[in-house]
Amino acid sequence: MHSVRRPPAMRDVAHLAGVSHQTVSRVVNDHPSVRSETRARVLAAMRALDYQPNVAARTLATNRSQTVGLVTFDTTLFGPSFMVHAIERAAREAGYFVSIASARELNVPSVTEAIRRLREQAVEGIITLAPVAAAWTALGRSLLDVPAHVPIVGMGIDVHAMPEVPMVAVDNAAGAGLATRHLIALGHRTVHHVAGPPEWPEARERMAGWQAALEAAGLPVPRALPGDWSARSGYAAGRALAADPAVTAVFCGNDQMAIGVLRAMHEAGRAVPGAVSVVGFDDMPEAPYLQPPLTTVRQDFAELGRRSMHLLVTQIATGVRQTGQHRSAPDLVVRESTSALAF
């Protein structure tokens, strides 16, 4: 009976190459001071043994985990799911692993728990997609407990609630302004709004941008209808809107809710864009193929993911906490769900 098959360790490589395990370590870490002939021998031994470094041991010795944590809430939403993808890509390119912790619910204990899990894993930094102001309070508290500052980036967070945390997001207010002014320019006397949940800063910012654009144009500001980002909630709001003949233009907080509004209008016999114009937000890949193709505000999720990762890596490398907002400019994509007001 021969020895148990155990993954080869550094010492095995060293033995085979006839050097000390330290030299192997140097080769692994690209330390300059290794004779190239020695290096070649070590590399050959590594290949021969199919050596794989043990991250746990390295983490223990260096106190660096090479891992960043991602706090998510609902990755089934179009935006967040796209971000997860973009962040993973960016992390890999920067040499980091990504570990996910999703918050069960949108409240303080859930987010605190998610952060605790991540910290327990000794992540070097945290990117969060958790959207709630209350959650940010929890995050803030958690951070205060941490001896060294944990590098962190918040995507779509409430900057007022957490000014000390750098944030990356699309300029929601500007995007909402784009959409609203587009509708106003088309001759609509006012624009109605189906909003996302008020707990989400994105939702509040879009609402604020919509309202500001209306006020700037001297137009009345109707009550916004509440939604939860889902097509279902958009449909419910759309039914209410469709019942009011005065409604001719609707700006939706996201594309999914716009889908619901489109459906409700269709059922009520109100043609889009003939009788009412509809604008969404996000520009999901399906938007051009809806009925009618949806005019919407595009945000570049991949770019946002890359920027937040870059910001995080910078903080990790320099050890200095960044702050401030990093906003990317949205574009209005005009398709067929909007048209001039017909008298």
* Contact of residue 310 among DNA, its own copies, none (CB under 5-8 Å per partner type): none
Q: Where are the beta strands (DSSP E) in the chain?
A: 67-72, 97-102, 125-128, 152-155, 167-170, 192-195, 225-226, 249-252, 277-282, 295-298, 325-328, 331-333
Measured from the CB atom, the residue of 55 and 320 that comes closer to its own copies is 55
Interface with DNA (CB under 7 A), residue from 3, 5, 32, 246: 32
Q: How far is the CB of 38 from DNA (least distance, A)?
A: 3
Q: Are 219 and 184 in contact (CB under 8 A)?
A: yes
Interface with DNA (CB under 7 A), residue from 2, 5, 33, 95: 33
- Determine phi and psi for 28, rounding to 5 degrees: -60, -40
Measured from the CB atom, the residue of 86 and 174 that comes closer to its own copies is 86
Q: Which residues of 101-127 are buried (b: 16+ CB within 10 A; e: fewer)?
A: bbbeebebebbbbbbebbbeeebbbbb
* Contact of residue 101 among its own copies, DNA, none (CB under 5-8 Å per partner type): its own copies
Question: Can you name the residues that pair with 225 across neighbouring β-strands?
Answer: 194
Query: What element of type H or E holds 114?
Result: helix 108-120
* Contact of residue 219 among DNA, its own copies, none (CB under 5-8 Å per partner type): none
Measured from the CB atom, the residue of 120 and 244 that comes closer to DNA is 120
Distance of CA 33 to the CA centre of its chain: 42
Site for DNA in 52-111 (CB under 7 A): 53-54, 57-58, 60-63
Sequence-distant (≥ 6) Cβ neighbours of residue 148 within 8 angstroms = none
* Binding stretches for its own copies (CB under 8 A): 5-7, 50, 52-57, 59-60, 65, 67, 72, 74-76, 78, 81-82, 84-85, 88-89, 92, 97-102, 104, 116-117, 119-122, 145, 147-148, 230-232, 234-235, 256, 259-260, 262-263, 266, 285-286, 288-291, 293
The tokens for 337 are 């769900």
* Contact of residue 34 among its own copies, DNA, none (CB under 5-8 Å per partner type): DNA
Interface with DNA (CB under 7 A), residue from 6, 30, 144, 289: 6
| 3-state SS record for 247-282 | CCEEEECCHHHHHHHHHHHHHCCCCCCCCCEEEEEE
* Contact of residue 38 among its own copies, DNA, none (CB under 5-8 Å per partner type): DNA
Residues of this chain that bind DNA (CB under 7 A): 6-7, 9-11, 18-23, 25-26, 28-29, 32-35, 37-39, 53-54, 57-58, 60-63
